[in-house]
Amino acid sequence: MQPVFRFAPSPNGELHLGHAYSALLNHRLARQAGGRFLLRIEDIDRERCRPEFERGIADDLRFLGLDWDESPRRQSEHFADYAGALDALVHEGLAYPAFMTRGEVKGFAARFEEKEGRPWPRDPDGAPLYPGLDRALDASERERRLAAGEPFAWRLDMNRALGMLEALTFREDGADGGPAGEVRAEPELWGDVVLARRDVPTSYHLSVVVDDALQGVTHVVRGRDLLPSTSVHRVLQALLGLSAPRYRHHDLVLDEAGRKLSKSAGDTSLRQLRAAGLAASDIRRMVGL
């Protein structure tokens, strides 16, 4: 089977040195393996994503000397694929309408902590876990709130999902001293993750899993910050009957203060580095490739 790698940025800001490292590494590994290198535009968030950032991504990658196979897959053009996957999970009773907003969840966690004097559990990104209140809602109350048009997100019933599955692992190819080998997935750390947001008919987790499968991706190479998310991806792959790619979570490029670069990280944006007269070879040297 021909290896398939992908670089999957979100066009909600300018690419920075961290993206350059990820794209160059994916491209190099793909070419070394005689495989394909795909570009996927993860633009499900129509509020934050902009066409000029998408154009910037293509310009930056061309500047780096990268070419990609096939025309890029734009997630906003494939909402029907994610809806199909969501329907399957809803049909299995694995998803439920979740009415609480992020702010309400924070408030719930704060009240719990105040009252109980111990922390409410948080996910690997530091957000309080979704309390199971809506999961336990009785059917008539749920119907009433749906009929009243109350906004909601679809969330995965994680406990129920895990009850249906064997323990999951994923193959981590390891890089830069990170974990390597067969890694045990820890989806329970995430609780009831969002499958479809209230404002967007899918979520990062759902669309990434569906697309990696539809595009035949065999190797997911991405930043270490996404390592914990892989546990959620394994659950969704198992529930949806999708095969799992191999993973490699690489080191992040940090700024001088040791912080993760952000999309607003002005002076490390590729557009600005280009404008300052740097060549692609300078960028490669800066990221060590």
Catalytic residue IDs: 263
Q: Which is nearer to ligand GLU, 159 or 243 (CB)?
A: 243
116 Cβ partners below 8 Å, 6+ apart?
none
Nearer to ligand GLU, 5 or 154 (CB): 5
Work out which of 15, 129, 208, 236 binds ligand GLU, going by CB under 6 A: 208
Among 4-12, 64-72, 151-159, 240-248, which window interacts with ligand GLU (CB under 6 A)?
A: 4-12
Among 9, 11, 35, 56, which residue interacts with ligand GLU (rule: CB under 6 A)? 9
Nearer to ligand GLU, 143 or 225 (CB): 225
Contacts of ligand GLU in 15-74 (CB under 6 A)? 42
In 3D space, the residue among 111, 125, 91, 108 whose CA is nearest the CA of residue 193 turns out to be 125
Query: Distance between CA atoms of 251 and 268, rounded to whole angstroms?
Result: 17
Residue closer to ligand GLU (CB basis): 10 or 237: 10
Strands laid side by side in the 95-98 sheet: 95-98, 153-156, 194-196
Scanning 3-11, 29-37, 49-57, 154-162 for contacts with ligand GLU by CB under 6 A, the matching segment is 3-11
Looking at 222, 234, 248, 250, which residue binds ligand GLU (CB under 6 A)?
A: 222
Phi, psi of 47 (to 5 degrees): -75, -40
Name the amino acid, one letter, at 265: A
Ranges assigned E (strand) in 127-218: 153-156, 169-172, 181-184, 194-196
Residue 130 CB, shortest distance to ligand GLU, in Å, is: 22
What is the β-pairing status of strands 219-223 and 246-250?
parallel
Sheet holding 169-172, edge to edge: 73-74, 36-41, 4-7, 219-223, 246-250, 169-172, 181-184
- Taking CB under 6 A as the rule, does residue 227 contact ligand GLU? no
For residue 263, the minimal CB distance to ligand GLU (Å) is: 9
Judged by CB under 6 A, which stretch of 5-13, 64-72, 83-91, 140-148 contacts ligand GLU?
A: 5-13
Alpha-carbon dihedral 18, 22, 23, 25, rounded to 10 degrees? 130
Q: Cβ of residue 230: shortest distance to ligand GLU, in angstroms?
A: 9
Binding site for ligand GLU (CB under 6 A): 8-10, 42, 208, 222, 226
